[in-house]
């Protein structure tokens, strides 16, 4: 049986460090993993005593080390990206070992790969695997579930991300560049997941005050197009990002920024759910520091899984399939990571009485 340890793959990166600090602050013992043994040991010395912070070097091409890592931990938080490169070897090792798994992927192709290729293995070994339990992806999945709760028919789910002050790390920049250059995009339209070229357009998303209406890049490639249709009966799901986010000067030139500078982001993630007959519902979450909210979301999920507070079934699951959406978002709010605003269902205007 696996020990109730939580391991972090890609622990030396910005996200990995935030995740490690958050786990230690919650009293968890951790295993730092990644490809560079020296960097992992240096980080362990910085973070805490050896009985609480262990290291386990496991380069992606070393299947034996990855297997030993996933057999020694009860949950693995995968923080190394781009997931186009790191996703399959780490996630498949976790699935085979029955090690619960959460990651920070943005990439729709990685999320799709997990559902298509690891579902049967995870179900057999008892692993609960939740891709993109982070800022991009997981929050949108939870929010869409919360906003659409109880609806039996949904025409369209639109997720709007308003992000300012984003200072990309090396890993985030490489990921963004791969996504921007991607020809075959994953989309969900007319009730089906599709892969192929799409036309990128500008549109306007009506964020609530104080953000207000913003020009958006649409579609923005994030993996919730794969997860939301699994639990919201929508015909179309699309994510969009404020155009201004990529126009800010610092976004692609901040690989050397320190953690304090990176923390100075502001965000609103909004979900607009429209019904086939008109009307609809809105909800949003907002806050500061997209990196920290992502780290807290993944740690909250990992701790629940380590303590047996998972969904009661194994397999690959979206965030809102694994955990009830509103209570999970409220927990993140309670932890100070964001504020949640869910609009009461709107009813169509009453018809005038006949005279
Ligand atoms: N969904 C979200 O909202 C969200 C939030 C945060 C991060 N992310 C994603 O998470 C990933 C990491 O972001 P970050 O900001 O932490 O980046 P980062 O600070 O640049 O760190 C990247 C980490 O990944 C490791 N890594 C990269 N390529 C590797 C490989 N081939 N084999 C083993 N390890 C490898 C690096 O190890 P070395 O130190 O050895 O290079 C480092 O530990 C990115 O893909 C980013 O897009 C997503």
Domain that holds residue 337: 138-289+333-342
HEC profile of 50-62: CCCEEEEECCCCC
Same domain, 117 and 144: no
Residue nearest to atom 33 of ligand 1 (CA): 35
Same domain, 167 and 99: no
Same domain, 10 and 91: yes
Residue nearest to atom 45 of ligand 1 (CA): 81
Domain assignment of residue 355, yes or no: no
Cβ–Cβ < 8 Å for 352, 262: no
Q: What is the pTM of this model?
A: 0.96
Residue nearest to atom 24 of ligand 1 (CA): 80
Say if residue 161's pLDDT is above 60: yes
CA of 55 to the centre of ligand 1 (A): 17
Same domain, 128 and 92: yes
CATH number at residue 110: 3.40.50.720
CA of 65 to the centre of ligand 1 (A): 19
Residue nearest to atom 1 of ligand 1 (CA): 136
Domain assignment of residue 37, yes or no: yes
* Segment 277-328, tens digit of pLDDT: 888 999 999 999 999 999 999 999 999 999 999 999 999 999 999 999 999 9
CATH number at residue 173: 3.30.360.10
Look over the chain and give the mean of its residue pLDDT values, rounded to a whole number: 95
Same domain, 162 and 279: yes
**What local confidence, expressed as pLDDT, does residue 345 receive?**
56
Domain assignment of residue 224, yes or no: yes
Q: Number of structural domains, the chain?
A: 2
Question: Ligand 1 atom closest to Cα of 137?
Answer: 1
Q: Is the peptide bond before 219 cis (omega within 30 degrees of 0)?
A: yes
Where is pLDDT greater, at 352 or 328?
Answer: 328
Same domain, 146 and 248: yes
Same domain, 157 and 121: no
Same domain, 33 and 101: yes
Same domain, 224 and 317: no
Count of alpha carbons within 13 Å of 186, Cβ hemisphere only? 18
Per DSSP, the three-state class of 351 is coil
Domain assignment of residue 159, yes or no: yes
* pLDDT grade for 355, boundaries at 50, 70 and 90: very low
Tell me how crowded residue 116 is: count the other CB atoms within 10 A of its CB.
10
* Segment 43-86, tens digit of pLDDT: 999 998 999 999 999 999 999 999 999 999 999 999 999 999 99
Domain assignment of residue 125, yes or no: yes
Residue nearest to atom 30 of ligand 1 (CA): 86
Say if residue 351's pLDDT is above 80: no
Domain assignment of residue 60, yes or no: yes
Residue with tokens 């080390």: 65
Mutate to test the pocket of ligand 1, among 7, 8, 11, 13 (most ligand atoms within 8 A of CB): 13
CA of 232 to the centre of ligand 1 (A): 30
* Segment 199-238, tens digit of pLDDT: 999 999 999 999 999 999 999 999 999 999 999 999 999 9
* pLDDT grade for 96, boundaries at 50, 70 and 90: very high
For range 146-175, the mean pLDDT? 97
Locate 289 and state its tokens.
């520091």
* Segment 180-205, tens digit of pLDDT: 999 999 999 999 999 999 999 999 99
According to DSSP, residue 307 is labeled: T
Per DSSP, the three-state class of 303 is helix
E-assigned strand segments in the chain:
6-9, 30-34, 53-57, 75-78, 100-103, 128-130, 154-164, 185-189, 192-196, 201-206, 213-218, 234-242, 266-274, 280-288, 315-316, 339-342
Say if residue 3's pLDDT is above 70: no
**What local confidence, expressed as pLDDT, does residue 277 receive?**
86
**What local confidence, expressed as pLDDT, does residue 278 receive?**
86
Mutate to test the pocket of ligand 1, among 39, 58, 172 (most ligand atoms within 8 A of CB): 172
Cβ–Cβ < 8 Å for 159, 269: yes
Compute CA distances 343 → 159, 169, 293, whole Å: 15, 35, 22
**What local confidence, expressed as pLDDT, does residue 343 receive?**
83
CA of 81 to the centre of ligand 1 (A): 4
Locate 194 and state its tokens.
């599709």
Burial class of 192 by CB neighbour count within 10 A (0 to 12, 13 to 18, 19+): exposed
CA of 10 to the centre of ligand 1 (A): 6
Domain assignment of residue 1, yes or no: no
Same domain, 202 and 227: yes
Q: Is the peptide bond before 247 cis (omega within 30 degrees of 0)?
A: no
CA of 173 to the centre of ligand 1 (A): 10
Mutate to test the pocket of ligand 1, among 9, 14, 15, 36 (most ligand atoms within 8 A of CB): 15
Say if residue 344's pLDDT is above 80: no
Same domain, 202 and 275: yes
HEC profile of 140-198: HHHHHHHHHCCCCCEEEEEEEEEEECCCCCHHHHHHHHHHHCCCCEEEEECCEEEEECC
Say if residue 20's pLDDT is above 80: yes
Cβ–Cβ < 8 Å for 55, 44: yes
Domain assignment of residue 87, yes or no: yes
Tell me how crowded residue 88 is: count the other CB atoms within 10 A of its CB.
16
CA of 16 to the centre of ligand 1 (A): 8
Q: Residues lining ligand 1, judged by CB closer than 6 Å?
A: 10, 12-16, 34-36, 39, 60, 79-83, 85-86, 104, 106, 132, 134-137, 169-172, 175, 291, 294
Say if residue 346's pLDDT is above 60: no
Same domain, 285 and 144: yes
């Amino acid at each position: 049986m696996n020990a109730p340890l939580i391991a972090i793959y890609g622990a030396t990166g910005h996200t990995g460090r935030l995740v490690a600090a958050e786990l230690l602050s919650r009293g968890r013992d951790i295993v730092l993993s990644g490809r560079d043994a020296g960097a992992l040991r240096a980080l362990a010395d910085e973070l805490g005593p050896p009985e609480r912070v262990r290291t386990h070097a496991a380069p992606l091409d070393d299947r034996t080390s990855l297997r030993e890592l996933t057999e020694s931990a009860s949950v693995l938080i995968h923080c190394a990206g781009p997931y186009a490169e790191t996703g399959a070897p780490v996630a498949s090792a976790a699935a085979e070992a029955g090690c619960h798994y959460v990651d920070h992927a943005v990439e729709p192709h990685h999320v799709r790969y997990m559902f298509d290729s690891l579902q049967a293995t995870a179900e057999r070994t008892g692993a609960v695997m939740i891709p993109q339990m982070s800022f991009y992806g997981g929050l949108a999945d939870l929010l869409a579930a919360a906003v659409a709760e109880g609806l039996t028919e949904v025409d369209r789910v639109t997720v709007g991300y308003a992000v300012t002050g984003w200072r990309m790390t090396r890993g985030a920049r490489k990921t963004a560049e791969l996504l921007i250059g991607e020809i075959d995009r994953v989309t969900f339209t007319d009730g089906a997941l599709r892969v192929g070229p799409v036309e990128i357009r500008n549109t306007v998303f009506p964020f609530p005050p104080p953000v207000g209406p913003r020009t958006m890049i649409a579609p923005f490639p994030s993996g919730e197009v794969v997860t939301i249709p699994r639990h919201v009966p929508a015909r179309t799901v699309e994510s969009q990002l404020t155009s201004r986010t990529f126009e800010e000067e610092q976004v692609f030139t901040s690989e050397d920024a320190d953690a304090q500078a990176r923390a100075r982001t502001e965000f609103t993630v909004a979900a607009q759910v429209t019904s086939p007959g008109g009307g609809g519902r809105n909800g949003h979450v907002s806050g500061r520091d997209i990196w920290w909210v992502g780290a807290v979301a993944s740690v909250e999920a990992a701790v629940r899984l380590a303590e047996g507070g998972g969904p009661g079934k194994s397999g690959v699951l979206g965030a809102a399939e694994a955990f009830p959406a509103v209570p999970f978002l409220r927990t993140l709010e309670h932890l100070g990571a964001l504020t949640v605003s869910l609009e009461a269902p709107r009813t169509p205007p009453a018809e005038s009485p006949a005279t």
